[in-house]
């Protein structure tokens, strides 16, 4: 698949190199057009138990669902050319879910065990155009990207997540996507309108910076003054003696005119590393910030409180988290086995919420395009303050397949 196709798809292919064959390439005059994408579907069985957490009651018990996984089904259309010593390209990618409850373009819409997550007869779904951008550049001085694409901060964390081919957390709700490790290991990079610059590759060393659209924290009034957000990262890719890998360091900052306590600035840093050798892979990631997140995840029906989304709680909270992951591809068979643990924690004014999960999975390449997937996720949410300590659990078994083209 051509690298100009979706970053999310490309990231999955990096993590699972046997997942897809080449995309469809069409010569068109001075341009080369690339078409590619994926279709996936999963059966999920989620058992909710424990305390009710959040402002909206959750119906605990068992929830069965058929839906897309962390990576929605997608069709990407892009093209590239070389003109006046410049590499020029554009990309549009259309994402959708498969269940009749996929009525909200948000990838994290109402991941809940309540009736709010149920589909109804006559229900439809929606297209979510997550990518619409152009690039111009040259290997000698770098690349400028203008448009809507995956944000810089947190992008390596989600693109390194093994559940990109599966489900992870967040099964049993509406929307075109589950959560993977969003909110229990990293904060969602999201799809952002941005002006981005990526440097040339200096023997594996590269940096990326971006000015991006201001994201509302749901407290800021409509007419409030807004300012651009900024994020960036430095990466180093290495290869030696059959060992390959990447290390990265990133940051994010955005000012908010209003919050529950007035004006504040959200900011965060991240550090990560991944390495692969002879079919084995390891990933380690950590982030720390202020005013970055809130943690309720799939345990609440209030869309404004979903864990792993940037800024939505409106507080200058203390936020941190990370995950570790190990995978191994069985020689000859090709089946990739993986296990990961991750947590995200937010504290504010004496209250703390923590979302922790363990995930194990098996990803088998039935063909070079088609992968069969089986996962088990054990998630636990803890919420505490001076008056109470609450705990809720969600255990999910997911079975399905993902097809790349």
Lowest mean pLDDT among 125-139, 220-234, 271-285: 220-234
Is position 136 within any domain?
Answer: yes
**Tally of CB atoms within 10 A around 67:** 30
Residue 308: pLDDT over 90: no
- Predicted confidence (pLDDT) at residue 2 exceeds the cutoff of 90: no
Distance from chain centroid for Cα 125: 20
Q: Which of 208, 172, 167 has the alpha carbon at shortest distance from 189?
A: 208
Is residue 397 a contact partner of residue 390, using CB atoms and an 8 Å limit?
no
**For residues 346-374, average pLDDT:** 93
2 within some domain: no
- Residue 12's φ and ψ, nearest 5 degrees, are -65, -35
CATH code at position 226: 2.40.160.10
Q: Which two tokens stand for residue 360?
A: 């194990």
Residue 392 lies in a domain: yes
Mean pLDDT of 73-101: 93
At 271-282, the pLDDT tens digits run 999 999 999 999
The beta strands (E) that lie in 257-388 are given as 264-277, 280-290, 318-329, 336-348, 351-365, 370-384
Least confidently predicted of 58-72, 174-188, 197-211, 385-399: 58-72
**Rounded to an integer, what distance in angstroms lies between the CA atom of residue 204 and that of residue 39?**
33
How far is the C-alpha of 74 from the C-alpha of 341, rounded, in Å? 28
Average pLDDT over residues 17-24: 47
pLDDT at 51: 77
User: What gap in Å lies between CA 181 and CA 307, rounded to an integer?
Assistant: 10
What secondary structure letter does DSSP report for 214? P
Residues counted in the chain = 405
Pick from 68, 161, 113: which is nearest to 361 by CA?
A: 161
CB 13 within 8 A of CB 37: no
190 and 37 Cβ atoms separated by less than 8 Å: no
| % helix, strand, coil for the chain, step of 5 | 5, 55, 40
Say yes or no to pLDDT of 114 above 50: no
Distinct helix (H) and strand (E) counts, the chain: 2, 18
Would you state the torsion angle of the CA atoms of residues 188, 391, 167, 108, taken in this order, to the nearest 10 degrees?
Answer: -40
Question: What's the distance, CA 337 to chain centroid?
Answer: 20
Q: What percent of the chain has pLDDT over 70?
A: 81
Residue 1 is assigned to a structural domain of this protein: no
Q: Please identify which residue in the block is written with the tokens 């590239």.
A: 80
Instruction: Examine residue 249 and state whether it is found in any structural domain, yes or no.
Output: yes
Question: Who's near 17: CB < 8 A, 6+ residues apart?
Answer: none
Spatial distance between the Cα atoms of 312 and 215, rounded to a whole number of angstroms? 9
Asked whether residue 210 carries a pLDDT value surpassing 90, the answer given is: yes
Helix (H, G, I), strand (E, B) or coil at 335: coil
The verdict on residue 273 lying in a domain is: yes
Can you tell me whether residue 297 is helix, strand or coil? helix
Mean of the per-residue pLDDT values of the chain: 85
For residue 218, what pLDDT is reported? Answer: 76
Q: In the chain, how many domains are there?
A: 1
The predicted pLDDT at position 351 comes to 84
Q: Is the pLDDT of residue 306 over 80?
A: no
- How many Cβ atoms from other residues are within 10 Å of residue 187's Cβ? 27
Distance CA 58, CA 50 (A): 10
Contacts of 302 (CB under 8 A, 6+ apart): 54, 55, 56, 296
């Amino acid at each position: 698949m051509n690298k100009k196709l979706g970053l999310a798809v490309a990231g999955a292919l990096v993590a699972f190199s046997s997942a897809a064959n080449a995309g469809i390439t069409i010569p068109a005059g001075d341009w080369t057009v690339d078409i590619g994408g994926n279709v996936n579907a999963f059966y999920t069985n989620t058992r909710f138990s424990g305390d009710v957490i959040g402002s909206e009651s959750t119906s605990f018990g068992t929830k069965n669902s058929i839906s897309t996984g962390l990576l929605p089904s997608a069709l990407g259309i892009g093209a590239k050319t070389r003109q006046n010593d410049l590499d020029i390209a554009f990309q549009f990618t259309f994402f959708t879910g498969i269940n009749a409850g996929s009525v909200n373009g948000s990838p994290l819409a109402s991941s809940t065990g309540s009736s709010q997550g149920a589909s109804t007869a006559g229900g439809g779904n929606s297209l979510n155009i997550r990518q619409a951008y152009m690039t111009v550049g040259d290997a000698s001085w770098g690349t400028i990207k203008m448009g809507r694409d995956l944000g810089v901060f947190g992008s390596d964390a989600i693109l390194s997540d093994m559940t990109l081919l599966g489900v992870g957390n967040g099964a049993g709700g509406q929307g075109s996507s589950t959560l993977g490790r969003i909110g229990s290991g990293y904060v969602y990079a999201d799809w952002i309108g941005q002006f981005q610059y990526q440097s040339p590759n200096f023997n594996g060393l590269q940096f990326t910076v971006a000015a991006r659209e201001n994201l509302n924290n749901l407290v800021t009034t409509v007419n409030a003054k807004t300012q651009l957000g900024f994020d960036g990262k430095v990466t180093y890719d290495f290869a030696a003696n059959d060992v390959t890998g990447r290390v990265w360091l990133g940051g994010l900052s955005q000012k908010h005119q209003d919050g529950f306590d007035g004006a504040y600035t959200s900011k965060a840093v991240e550090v990560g590393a991944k390495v692969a050798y002879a079919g084995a892979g390891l990933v380690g990631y950590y982030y720390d910030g202020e005013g970055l997140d809130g943690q309720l995840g799939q345990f609440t029906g209030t869309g404004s409180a979903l864990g792993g989304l940037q800024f939505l709680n409106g507080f200058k909270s203390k936020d941190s988290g990370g995950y570790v992951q190990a995978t191994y591809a069985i020689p000859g068979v090709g089946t990739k086995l993986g296990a990961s643990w991750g947590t995200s924690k937010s504290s504010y004014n004496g209250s703390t919420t923590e979302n922790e999960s363990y995930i194990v999975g098996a990803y088998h390449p039935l063909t070079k395009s088609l992968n069969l997937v089986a996962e088990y996720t054990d998630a636990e949410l803890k919420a505490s303050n001076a008056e109470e300590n609450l705990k809720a659990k969600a255990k999910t078994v997911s079975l399905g397949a993902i097809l790349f083209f």
